Amino acid sequence: MTQRQAILSGSTFEEQIGYARAVVDGDWVHVSGTTGFDYAAMTISDDVVEQAEQCLRNIGTALAEAGSGFADVVRVRYLLPDREDFEPCWPTLRRCFSEIRPAATMLVCGLADPRMKIEIEVYARRRQGPS
């Protein structure tokens, strides 16, 4: 039987919408689209690079709670309302992903809140222990 575990970040959005920051299903960790909100303060920067950095901190926290880490990421999706905002984020994204080279997609689309400039979603495969 597959073990399923929901991981919550404390974001008010999780309660309001009805989802989990991440779901562990067996060896797989599915991290929801994660924005640049600091969930403890429910604040968000106006700067897209700072938002990308916060997205990655939020994702890193969820992965760690799932017994995983960035080294285990196999797929990443970037969602941005403005394609011009993507390239300034590349150095930040490269710090997490350049060594592991996950499959990746970038989509231009509207996000739930006009303050959001980037949303990142990842899938990871858990190893025997935290990475």
- Looking at the whole model, is its pTM more than 0.85? yes
Give per-10-residue mean pLDDT for the chain (131 aa): 82 88 95 93 96 98 95 98 98 96 98 97 80 43
The fold of 4-125 is 60s Ribosomal Protein L30; Chain: A; (3.30.1330)
Q: What is the pLDDT of residue 1?
A: 47
Q: What is the pLDDT of residue 128?
A: 56
Q: What is the pLDDT of residue 11?
A: 81
Q: What is the pLDDT of residue 42?
A: 87
CA angle centred on 77, ends 15 and 108, rounded to 5°: 95
Q: What is the pLDDT of residue 131?
A: 43
Q: What is the pLDDT of residue 50?
A: 98
Burial 21-50 (b: 16+ CB within 10 A, else e): bbbbeeebbbbbbbbbbebeeeebbeebbb
